[in-house]
Amino acid sequence: MRAIALVDLDDTLFQTLGKCPEDIPAEALAPIGYARDGAPLSFATPRQLAFLSWLSDSTLLVPVTARSRDALDRVRIAWTRGICAHGGVVVDSAGRTDPIWHSRMAAEAGAHTDALADLARRVGAEARSAALRVRILEEEGLPLYLLVKHETGDSAALAGAIDRVAPHVPPGWTVHRNGNNAALLPPFLGKQHAVAYLIPELRRQYPDTPVVGIGDSLTDAPFMALCDFAMMPTRSQLAAAALLRAA
């Protein structure tokens, strides 16, 4: 092991078929993420597969993902420690939910239950006229955040609906948008909080091993900033905000 890699998954190591580069033939894509019924949902390009192979061979690979634990388990990637549900769950080296982090999340989630339910009602009112799917995401029995998608994948319509409810989002909450996904996160939730909790343990075990943060979206930037080095796909929301704006 030459480094520790804290890696976002979707749109970093793989993506849905519709987001795959048009110049890569379908037969060259490798399924890597699956639905509950076993149908392939996410695909990696040959270069992404080579990158993943490099990470697997040379790093301690730690997924840092918005996916639920169930969805993370349906990704064909070898990992031990992990962070999922936008930082709501930390998985220890034995594959179990970290009890200390879970207790902290339980206390925080309890303090925001009413605000989350109120926001769900407001967005639900928009859903009736904007063809949205709205649900409160729960993990390990804890209501964590609000996930909103458009029924037909109309990201522009989704953005408009989120703009209309944005004034009602409580102070300190994060509105994360990326394509046809919008997540409304309470202040306690975020990948960076879970990474800040996990890094000291990794440093104790591997004190001189560099930590690399890898991600594609604006909400990945805070956890990447806690690492020694940062990487991003050039075809990504984060690259558009950082590399292209600076060019």
Domain CATH number, residue 91: 3.40.50.1000
Do 16 and 68 fall into the same domain?
A: yes
Same domain? 208 vs 242: yes
User: Pick from 140, 156, 185: which residue ends a domain?
Assistant: 185
| 100 and 181 co-located in one domain | no
For 122-140, the pLDDT digits (tens) are 888 776 667 888 899 999 8
Range of the domain at 55: 3-105+190-246
Tell me how far apart the alpha carbons of residues 236 and 243 are, in angstroms, rounded to a whole number: 10
Mean pLDDT of 150-176: 84
User: Is the domain of 27 the same as that of 97?
Assistant: yes
Q: Mean pLDDT over all residues of the chain?
A: 91
| DSSP for 53-107, written as a single string | HHHHHHEEEEEB-SS-HHHHHTB----SSEEEGGGTEEE-TTSSBPHHHHHHHHH
Structural domain ending residue among the three candidates 147, 164, 185: 185
Three-class DSSP category at 186? coil
pLDDT at 157: 81
User: Using a CB cutoff of 8 Å and minimum separation of 24, what contacts does 29-32 make?
Assistant: 31/76, 32/75, 32/76, 32/77
Q: Residues 194, 94: one domain?
A: yes
Bridge partners of 63, per DSSP, are: 7
